[in-house]
Amino acid sequence: MRIIAIANQKGGVGKTTIAFNLAKTLATRGHSVLAVDNDAQGNLTGSFLSDPEELQCDVLTIYNSDSRDKRAVTPQQIGDRLHLIGANISLAKKINRGDHTLLTKLTSGLKRVQGSFDFVLIDCSPSLDFLSTAALIAAQHVLIPVKPAPYALMGLKDLFDTIEEIQEGLNKAIKPLGIVLNLVEGRETVIGQQYESAVRETYGDLVFTNRLNKSTRLEESPAFRQSILEYDTDGKLAEQFNLFTDELLKRL
């Protein structure tokens, strides 16, 4: 069971959109997938469920559980080979508590479904808070979406420092899966090209060869509960996302 945290403490880089589309794409390819919404904003949950009242399995249950509680987590089935552990704003209370006992709760919760899925994709919050740290402790791999824009490199350095600290402490197995350049402008500016070059020069082979362009179609698709492959089957972004998924699987 490959557990992948999709993380970047900088907001607006498309973490949730990638998590949603990747979960649906992998499931379409025949893999069993568990999507975990580990962000109090609940945007990933909203991408899968049209009505918040439809949520049957809340990640908050994991954070509230006793470590000795051996009851199985029962993820909500939302499609063929696709399951969800969702979230809503109630999760924000956990962030504000600053309770260090939370850090290993997600790890324990996912151990209860060990072997039930090929992939677990954890959508992280846009900050290096307790929830994001818990996700990094639970994961084996970190997928890092980056928008080629100002301060991208600064944010990456902070994230890699955090990953290194976790490697030295609670999760020696975690390692970066790669950096994916996302929301790339179709008509690239000179500044955008310079930022992309800077990311590639700094991180080399860690940066995915395939990148994802900015697209209104991609941003619209979750509103229809559809991946870009379903919503715009023959579009450029569908092709790009397939190539990105191919590269991700090859890296794994």
Tens digit of each residue's pLDDT (9 = 90 or more) over 232-250: 999 999 999 999 999 999 9
Give the total residue count for the chain.
252
Q: What is the pTM of this model?
A: 0.94
Q: Where are the domains of the chain?
A: 2-251
Measured distance CA(18)–CA(184) in Å, rounded: 14
Q: Does the structure show a pLDDT above 90 at 89?
A: no
Sequence-separated (6 or more) residues with CB below 8 Å from residue 118: 1, 2, 26, 31, 32, 33
State the amino acid at position 111 in one-letter form.
K
State the amino acid at position 46 in one-letter form.
G
Residue 98's pLDDT is 61
Question: For domain 2-251, which architecture applies?
Answer: 3-Layer(aba) Sandwich (3.40)
Measured distance CA(245)–CA(239) in Å, rounded: 10
- 52 falls in which pLDDT band (50, 70, 90)? confident
- 151 falls in which pLDDT band (50, 70, 90)? confident
Tell me the mean pLDDT in the region 78-105: 85
Reported as a single tens digit per residue, the pLDDT across 193-203 is: 888 898 999 99
Q: Which of the residue ranges 55-59, 68-72, 187-191 has the most confident prediction, judged by mean pLDDT?
A: 55-59
Tell me the mean pLDDT in the region 212-221: 89
Inter-axis angle of helices 190-203 and 152-168, nearest 10? 20
